[in-house]
Chain A
Amino acid sequence: MAANKIYETPMLDELEKGPWPSFITGIKALRDNHESQFINDMTSSLLGQLEHSYETRKGYWKGGTVSVFGYGGGIIPRFSEVAAAFPESKEFHTLRVQPTPGNYYTTEMLNKLGDSWEKHGSGLVTFHGQTGNIMFIGTTTKGTQAFFDEINEYGWDLGGAGPCVRTAMSCVGAARCEMSNCNEHAIQRWLVNNFTDDVHRPALPYKFKFKISGCPNDCQNAIERADFAVIGTWRDDMRVDQAEFKNYIETKGRQYIIDNVITRCPTQALALNDDDTIAVDNRNCVRCMHCINVLPKALRTGTDKGVTVLIGGKRTLKIGDLMGTVVVPFKKLETRDDYEELVELAEEVIDFWAENALEHERCGEMIERIGLVNFLEGLDIDVNPNMVSNTRQSSYVRMDGWDDEAIKWFENQAEA
């Protein structure tokens, strides 16, 4: 088949040159070679509009309201502002579909999703969008419902869009990484699947994101980007294989180990012994992962594993970038009760935020506005010095509750 109308695309054609795979070549293949006339015409029109954007340096999509039956979100509606010139892509909606934790697929399932998508959509797809969704890019309102109905029958559900709990993300994790300290897969599904109603029916102040990384390397950028970041960690001693450490010294050299491991420890918790073994001051190790990253055969995380929870990470809008803040320094995640407690924490955070945030205010911005202590008191969480980089520098604070707070601290310490 071929598109009924082909647009000249001299600027886009430039993006077919060069060695990196070209998305333009891919869209042209759909235009010229796909057996579906619908796909030929839609992608041809898309290329026409995109060329127009390249020429004028402007975008020409506007939002709107498109949803599948029963849901209020999960679709990114796009209507063309230049539909008169490029009519076959006048509706070009994206479906956000939740992947598995860690983004695993069989080739069989990818082909099946492809079969459904070429029946109902443009044939363009992205694994994955920045929130973590599979993005099925480009279909009509009718195609949106038909495609969703089909894939929903074999196990796929829409993700979040708008002011709601969003699709979550987790790293490759325990499935293939020795650095992992938790079951990222279980954590993601326990958390986000407890909030399916809040994913599908946007009714929160703004977006709320869960991201899970199995270790402090934080490959999911959870601290920077997630309202609720769960990071795997451990609290006992790092495991050391001294024979392997000696092997590293023999192969990489003592100087390399000194320059790249011993002296790079942020808390000077490492020392090289005279017999070419390594000494670890585990009480002062902050679990930064650096030495483990450099010497993965010799050094390993501990075995008393759990997670740290940080709340409030987000990007620029509106008050500026915020990292997440430690709210739970360590939590074991072994039993069903442990997971239920984590879910309860998430429920309490979302409830408190939903009640107290301004419109379009992320959780981290709310904490910035009201102060961490008010947030913690709202959640009935005790303060902990792991929550701060340093203590207060300003004396401008009323402290007449000091004695009660001190008693609380000592009582909590005695219980621990």
Chain B
Amino acid sequence: MAMADMRPPIESGCPDGFQYMHPAMRRNFGQWKYHTDPRPGVLCHVAESGETVYTVKCGTQRILDLFTLRELTSIGDEYADGYIRFTIRSNVEYTVTDEAKVEPLIKALEDKGYVVGGTRNSVTTLSHTQGWLHCDIPGTDASGVVKSMMDELIDEFRQWNMPNRVHLTTSCCQINCGGQGDIAINVQHTKPPKIDHSQVSNVCERPSVVARCPVAAIRPALVDGKPSLEVDEKKCICCGACFPPCPPMQINDAEHSKLAVWVGGNHSNARGKPTFQKLVASAIPNNPPRWPEATAIVKQILKCYKEDARDWERVGEWVERIGWPRFFELTGLPFTKYHIDNWRGARASLNASTHIRF
């Protein structure tokens, strides 16, 4: 097609949300007074005007086929008021103004296999990334990990059993697109990249790859007479940062790309300042299709947290109160030299006091 025949885009950017918002939300925008939690998976918000909206939240598989999407919209048409929103963790929320519509809506969702819950002090849906289904650099398949874990945590999604809300995340590489979570299950590579020297000069911009390495372990080299790259394997931290700009630096390995579990990531400013997650377990097999070893560790941590944490403590706050020695004692996980940080700023994570637990 000639360029002149191509359709120029309308650069409309981010669309106006008000046109898709439930009328009760439009009417009471910025005028909400308080909320209550009538039952797990349901929120009730009351406006200054006295108007009330009920929100029913349900978990989905996130990778939606159009049959599922249409089922969700037809439930919205029949049992709700024709409006849907999605949360940051890909849960679906329906809004109704009539309390009598809440139970039939829940029943309709549950009859079709959707899971109502994920509010307040529950374990909500794992936020996750694309994995083998679509990503170009994944070490695992996030959707499969999530399905496997949520199958086992489904009652924790449906109920309010946890001390506070639990956000789980998973990521398929160490870029960690899944983000911070109370518990994060992330790929951790353990061997340096295997380099296909015949391809490097064809597909990689070598200076950019050298610059990408966080520890300056990559340098240009001539291999078999061709320009390539070499890795100082003693320096290499196996992070995989060189792989996206240079696919011949194959970091993913069926055996040596493992999973690691991190705890204590918290976005909220409530009580303490936001925190990043900390390593608790690694060398967990990347074991499709059900990843049982990773799920077992997550469940063990959740069990200890549920039994031992105080109301409103997030996982990270609980560990901070009881201390790391007690965390490893309770969970039965090993404490190793790899738990001691040596990255920049690491000294701030060392104990420079006599605050010791016995």
Looking at B17, B141, B176, B271, which has the most chain A CB atoms within 10 Å of its CB?
B17
Chain A 168-202 interface residues, beta-carbon cutoff 8 Å to B:
168-169, 171-172, 174-178, 180, 183, 185, 188-189, 192-193, 196-197, 199-200
Cβ B13 vs Cβ A192 within 8 A:
yes
Cβ A321 vs Cβ B276 within 8 A:
yes
Cβ B35 vs Cβ A178 within 8 A:
yes
Interfacial chain A residues near B161, Cβ < 8 Å: none
Please, what's the 1-or-0 string for B125-139, where 1 marks a CB less than 8 Å from any CB in chain A?
Answer: 001011111111111
Bound: A98/B254 CA distance, A: 35
* In the assembled complex, A65 has its CB within 8 A of some CB on chain B: no
* Chain B binder among A110-118, A338-346, A347-355, A400-408: A110-118
* In the assembled complex, A94 has its CB within 8 A of some CB on chain B: yes
Cβ B115 vs Cβ A21 within 8 A:
yes
Interfacial chain B residues near A317, Cβ < 8 Å: 174-175, 214, 241
Cβ contact of B64, chosen from A11, A78, A111, A126, cutoff 8 A:
A126
Cβ contact of B66, chosen from A114, A127, A296, cutoff 8 A:
A114
Cβ A104 vs Cβ B32 within 8 A:
no
* In the assembled complex, A409 has its CB within 8 A of some CB on chain B: no
* Chain A binder among B76-84, B219-227, B297-305, B331-339: B76-84
Contacts A101-B17, A296-B35; A50 near B133 (Cβ below 8 A)? yes
Interfacial chain B residues near A218, Cβ < 8 Å: 267-269, 274
* In the assembled complex, A392 has its CB within 8 A of some CB on chain B: no
* In the assembled complex, A220 has its CB within 8 A of some CB on chain B: yes
Looking at B32, B59, B272, which has the most chain A CB atoms within 10 Å of its CB?
B32
Please, what's the 1-or-0 string for A274-316, where 1 marks a CB less than 8 Å from any CB in chain B?
Answer: 0000000000001111100110110010000000000000011
Bound: A107/B76 CA distance, A: 7
Interfacial chain B residues near A385, Cβ < 8 Å: none
Cβ B20 vs Cβ A109 within 8 A:
yes
Please, what's the 1-or-0 string for A349-365, where 1 marks a CB less than 8 Å from any CB in chain B?
Answer: 00000000011100000
Please, what's the 1-or-0 string for B70-95, where 1 marks a CB less than 8 Å from any CB in chain A?
Answer: 10111011000011111110100101
Shortest CB–CB separation between residue A365 and chain B, in angstroms? 11
Cβ A23 vs Cβ B134 within 8 A:
no
* In the assembled complex, A332 has its CB within 8 A of some CB on chain B: no
* In the assembled complex, B100 has its CB within 8 A of some CB on chain A: no
Chain A 1-49 interface residues, beta-carbon cutoff 8 Å to B:
11-12, 14-15, 17-24, 26-27, 29-30, 33-34, 46
Cβ contact of A153, chosen from B6, B10, B72, cutoff 8 A:
B10
Cβ A266 vs Cβ B271 within 8 A:
yes
Interface size class of B (residues with CB under 8 A): 35 or more
Interfacial chain A residues near B130, Cβ < 8 Å: 129, 135, 137
Looking at B3, B53, B290, which has the most chain A CB atoms within 10 Å of its CB?
B290
Shortest CB–CB separation between residue B275 and chain A, in angstroms? 9
Contacts A15-B289, A174-B29, A178-B45; A318 near B268 (Cβ below 8 A)? no
Q: Chain B residues in contact with chain A, CB under 8 A?
A: 3, 6-18, 20-21, 25-26, 29-30, 32-36, 45, 53, 55, 59-70, 72-74, 76-77, 82-88, 90, 93, 95, 113-115, 127, 129-141, 143-144, 147-148, 150-152, 154, 174-180, 208, 211-212, 214, 239, 241, 247, 252, 254-255, 257, 265, 267-272, 274, 276, 286, 288-290, 310-312, 343-345
A-B residue pairs in contact (CB < 8 Å), sample of 7: A19-B151, A23-B63, A78-B134, A99-B86, A107-B73, A221-B180, A222-B267
Counting from the closest, the 6 A-B pairs by CB-CB distance are A18-B151, A100-B17, A26-B65, A53-B132, A216-B269, A107-B73
